[in-house]
Amino acid sequence: MSEDLTKISRLLELFPLYSEDLGIDLATPLGRFRWFVASILFGARISEQIAANTYRCLQATGIVDAPDKIIRAGWDRLVEILDAGGYVRYDFSTATKLLEIMTALQQNYGSLENLYHQASDSQNLEKRLQEFKGVGPTTVQIFLRELRGVWQVQPEAADVARIAATNLNIELSQLDGERLARVETALVKLYLRYCKRQKRCQCPMSEYCAKV
């Protein structure tokens, strides 16, 4: 096996998709909706651990199965669940955001799948998603990058993934589909957990890193 393949295999072994960490099956409409909710949580300036914990708290209640379930839960209940997950800093604003997004999704499209099918291309899909109040480029990038190979989408790679890719001498332009989704997500995790914190000596990919 070449060094590049060994390097990427090691990277993917260490850092699976965020959706896989959360037990979300992106092959199903239900899974894609759940991942959309999770992406909204991950899109805030909050740690990935708190975002993941908060999503699990929401899922445990059963309200992440459909927009109307989130709407019926109401603002007070959402704040309560967000607080339980540790999402305290953004609990009020995120509860409001979730209710507004789910209401607009139902009224304008009926479902997330309808939104996707009505989009003319990947750029139009991104534009439609960002029309939801509180959904910005970061949230859209998080959501769509793991859907490569599932939906026909081509979001730009995250800046932090590009930095980590440069450090490891990985050419993202040579990858596409699910392979790119997995490698990019792994690089994002690597950057957030090691590069950003300057934990190069502790990094499990240090043997391949040009910065060490």
Cα 200 to Cα 13, 98, 129, 164, 206: the distances in Å are 19, 37, 36, 12, 6
pTM above 0.85, yes or no: yes
Min mean pLDDT across 124-138, 153-167, 189-203 is at: 189-203
Q: What is the pLDDT of residues 162-196, one digit of tens each?
A: 999 999 999 999 999 999 999 999 999 999 999 99
Average pLDDT, the chain: 95
Report the candidate in 91, 100, 28, 95 with the shortest Cα–Cα distance to residue 65. Answer: 28
List, in order of start, the domains of the chain with CATH numbers.
Answer: 3-17+157-208 (no CATH), 18-136 (1.10.340.30)
Residues 6+ apart with CB under 8 A from 105: 67, 111, 112, 115, 132
